[in-house]
Amino acid sequence: MTKQDLLGAMFKLLCGKLQAGKPVALFEKECAAMLGVERAVAASYARTCLYHLLKALNLPQGSEVILTPITIHDMINVILLLGLRPRFVDIDPKTYQIDPEALESAITSRTKAILVTHLFGIPSPMDRVVSLCEPKGIIVLEDASHAYNAALNGKPMGTFGDAGFFSLSSLKALSTGYGGIIVGRKRALLDQVSHSLEKLRKARTRDLLDIMVKNTIVAFATQRAIFSCLTFPAIRTLDKMSPTIVRKLQTDNPELVRLQEFPDTWLWQFSPLQSELGLKGIQRIKHDDIKRRAHAQILLDKLGPIAPERLPHPPPGSLSVYWRFPFRAPEGSQFARFMSDCGIDVTTTLLPCCNTLPVFKEFHEPMPHAERAVKEVYFLPAEPSLTDDQIHGMADAVTRFLNG
**Footprint of ligand PLP (CB under 6 A):** 45-47, 71-72, 117, 143, 145-146, 167, 169, 180, 351
Q: What is the DSSP letter of 161?
A: S
CB nearer to ligand PLP: pick between 346 and 351: 351
Least Å distance, CB 181 to ligand PLP, is 10
- Cβ atoms of residues 1 and 175 within 8 Å: yes
Q: Which is nearer to ligand PLP, 115 or 189 (CB)?
A: 115
Q: How far apart are CB 363 and ligand PLP at their closest, in Å?
A: 18
| Of 100 and 180, CB closest to ligand PLP | 180
On whether the CB atoms of residues 122 and 322 are closer than 8 A, the answer is: yes
Count of residues in the chain? 404
Q: Which is nearer to ligand PLP, 251 or 340 (CB)?
A: 251
Smallest gap from residue 49 Cβ to ligand PLP (A):
8
Q: How far is the CB of 57 from ligand PLP (least distance, A)?
A: 18
Cα–Cα distance for residue pair 229/391, rounded to 1 Å: 19
Choice between 80 and 395, CB closer to ligand PLP: 80
Neighbours of 204 (CB within 10 A): 13
User: Which residues on neighbouring strands pair with residue 85, listed in sequence order?
Assistant: 64
Q: C-beta of 130: minimal distance to ligand PLP in Å?
A: 20
Nearer to ligand PLP, 5 or 398 (CB): 5
Residue 197 to residue 210: CA distance in whole angstroms: 22
Are the CB atoms for 220 and 197 separated by under 8 Å? no
- Cα–Cα distances (Å) from 96 to 56, 68, 290, 321, in that order, read 30, 10, 22, 14
Rg (CA), the chain: 20
Cα-based distances in Å from 169 to 216, 334, 400: 12, 31, 36
Q: Which is nearer to ligand PLP, 17 or 258 (by Cβ)? A: 258
Among residues 143 and 383, whose Cβ is nearest to ligand PLP?
143
**Least separation, in Å, of the C-beta of 309 and ligand PLP?**
25
Bridge partners, residue 378, by sequence? 327
- Residue 48: CB minimum distance to ligand PLP, A: 7
Q: From the CB of residue 290, how many other CB atoms can be counted at a distance below 10 Å?
A: 13
- In angstroms, the CA 172 to CA 186 distance is 26
Please report the sign of the dihedral spanned by the C-alpha atoms of residue 170, residue 174, residue 176, residue 180.
negative
Least distance from ligand PLP to the Cβ atom of residue 250, Å: 9
